[in-house]
A and B are shown apart, each in its own frame.
Chain A
Amino acid sequence: DIQMTQSPSTLSASVGDRVTITCRASQSISSWLAWYQQKPGKAPQLLIYKASSLQSGVPSRFSGGGSGTEFSLTVSSLQPEDFATYYCQQYSSLWTFGQGTKVEIK
């Protein structure tokens, strides 16, 4: 089974900050990685797929990068609506999620 490890688990930031979340796979997954945003009481929403492709309707301040085993999600200028929990997911072999990164207000 492929394991996904996200860091940090919690990130404190202010509006306007540039923030980066990292995700590491236990083996190479090529670019088969997605990022989701989840707000309390809501279903996750797809942000990025194939490591760096922006889902339709997602603001361009979100970007993804990486390949193989190391990936990142960057928010270029954090907005109030971006405070949420973010999950990476590998879909190279079945599906595995990272443990999540909560982005909270500093």
Chain B
Amino acid sequence: EVQLVESGGGWVQAGGSLRVSCAASGFTFSSYEMNWVRQAPGKGLEWVSYIDGSGSTMYYADSVKGRFTISRDNAKNSVFLQMNSLRVEDTAVYYCARPRGTGSSGFFDSWGPGTEVTVSS
């Protein structure tokens, strides 16, 4: 069974940094791309970042480009999101999600339960 479990969320002041993690199990992690998606309180879903299976290709939403860095450790079956220069508007639940499908970017068939990040002014 595929399992994704996020951790590392918490409270941080604006301008600070936080690193959230996602531990994966139940599948061959290195063969899969991974994504981070976030959801601000009471708001919709926003795609944040992507990394390919080898960790050599990354994409970011414009709202986080230059501040967030995605990485992975295939030996530890984990993907990370380093968040720097945090803003109040980064307050959200952060989900990791596994994409599936060929011929496109892929839809998200597995999600973790999320980790909550609160940025205070």
Chain A residues at the B interface, C-beta cutoff of 8 Å: 1, 32, 34, 36, 38, 42-46, 49-50, 55, 87, 89, 91-100
Contact = CB atoms under 8 A, between A and B. Distances in A.
Interface of B is mostly: strand
Interface residues of B, number: 22
A97 B47 contact: yes
Contact of B44 (A43, A93, A94, A97): A97
Given A43-B112, A43-B114, A92 B105 contact: yes
B50 to A, nearest CB: 7
A43 B36 CA distance: 12
Contacts of B106: 91
Interface string B36-68: 010000001111001000000001001000000
Nearest to B47: A95
A50 B100 CA distance: 11
